Amino acid sequence: MEHICKVSVKASKDYDILIGEGLLDAAGEQVRRVLGTCRPAVLTDDTVDALYGGRVLRSLAAAGLDACKFVFPHGEGSKNLGVMASFLDFMAEHRLTRGDAVIALGGGVPGDMGGFAAAVFLRGVPCVQIPTTLLAAVDSSVGGKTAVDIPAGKNLAGAFHQPSLVLCDTKTLDTLPPDILRDGFAEVVKYGVILDEDLFSAVSVPPVQDMQAVIRRCVELKRDVVGADEFDRGTRQLLNFGHTVGHAIEQLSGFTVSHGSAVAKGMLRAARMGAAMGLGDFTAPIRDTLLRYGFDLSCPYTPEELFDVMLNDKKRLPDTITLVLPERMGHCGLYKMPVSRALELLKATAS
């Protein structure tokens, strides 16, 4: 195995994130090290299962762990209460106990659903995250936000439930289609804009050479944010840079626009909104970087359409909304404003 790096998270539950090549084959040994003898229920989608399900199951078996596996059709369309209910039934049928565990194998969709299932099954069982997309590696597998989408909006039903372990096998990124790899870079660029100017500079001209170092840096940044505000009452909302408008675009498109692509569009809009408020204009470096990755930054929705969906944001108080806006590169601020002001800014930045 190549060099494995470790980032340790201190939150309501402490856990390690291991990053490096070959970790899929060490899943059994690592799960056993952290959780002891348990029955893991592996939750994954059909694409990831075909690529990596067998290896993970073999590794678990080699460590003496008698795993069961639940596979659902890939894509955001599966991130719903129906699939969740089927997985909860599956775990009950396989007689999992609180001493057992969920293993979420795949991108952010299996990750969010596996985390949520682990949070609610028997009022809480351990969860191990094995991210296989860049987006999941740098963001969704870390920090304990879990959710499913409901008809009223994205991620509107969920729980905070920290994983017990995150195993990020960087070799799995090799099989990602280019557009899905690119989605992850939207979140990487996000970390640079909100927290680390050096990271932003390092990734602003692709290709990135050292993915392990980039994932490690993103995860360290997220570790610090989650350590300071695990339950999203303040600082953690910085991680939503580009997401308020992004989620609206994702939902208005019927999820045909991916999360990463929507966040890229949302970040550009947030940069424009910040400039319209006189905070400083970081539109050009953000736009140019995202264009170099090949993102389509157009937004086919009117300010009123975006606004209507943004009002479902779960962080919103009745008449206010908090926007994350860049103040300087590597530093964003939270701007709480009347919802009417957010609509004005959307109108002022429509192009």
Note the residues at the interface with ligand GLY (CB under 6 A).
139, 143, 145, 236, 239
Host H or E run for residue 147? strand 145-150
Phi first, then psi, for residue 318 (nearest 5°) are -50, -50
> What is the nearest approach in angstroms of ligand NAD to the Cβ of residue 223?
13
3-class DSSP state for residue 119? helix
Residue listed under structure tokens 């990463």: 260
Q: What span, in angstroms and rounded, lies between the C-alpha atoms of 140 and 226?
A: 12
Choose between 260 and 274: whose C-beta lies nearer to ligand NAD.
260
Q: How far is the CB of 175 from ligand GLY (least distance, A)?
A: 24
SS3 state at 292: helix
Does residue 163 bind ligand NAD (CB under 6 A)?
A: no
C-beta closer to ligand NAD: residue 258 or 322: 258
Among 175, 302, 320, 340, binds ligand NAD (CB under 6 A): 175
| Residue among 86, 93, 41 at smallest CA distance from 66 | 41
Q: Which is nearer to ligand NAD, 106 or 285 (CB)?
A: 106
Least distance (Å) between residue 239 CB and ligand GLY: 4
Q: Which one, 7 or 63, has the nearer CB to ligand GLY?
A: 7
What span, in angstroms and rounded, lies between the C-alpha atoms of 272 and 325?
Answer: 9
User: Structure tokens of 311?
Assistant: 């009002």
**Residue from the set 117, 135, 194, 306 that interacts with ligand NAD by CB under 6 A:** 135
Decide if 216 contacts 233 (C-beta within 8 A).
Answer: no
Distances from the Cα of 301 to the Cαs of 12, 131, 261, 296, in angstroms? 40, 32, 15, 14
Rounded Cα–Cα distance for residues 264 and 99 (Å): 40
Q: Based on the shown chain and the rule CB under 6 A, indicate whether residue 333 belongs to the binding site for ligand NAD.
A: no
For position 51 contacting ligand NAD by CB under 6 A, the verdict is yes
* Distance in angstroms (rounded) separating the CA atoms of residues 153 and 255: 11
Q: How far is the CB of 219 from ligand NAD (least distance, A)?
A: 12
Is the CB of 100 or the CB of 139 nearer to ligand GLY?
Answer: 139
* Site residues (CB under 6 A) for ligand NAD, limited to 207-266: 258-260
User: Measured from the CB atom, is 24 or 345 closer to ligand NAD?
Assistant: 24
Give the residues lining the site for ligand NAD (CB under 6 A).
Answer: 45, 47-48, 51, 74-76, 79, 106-110, 112, 132-133, 135-136, 139-140, 143, 145, 155, 172, 175-176, 180, 183, 258-260
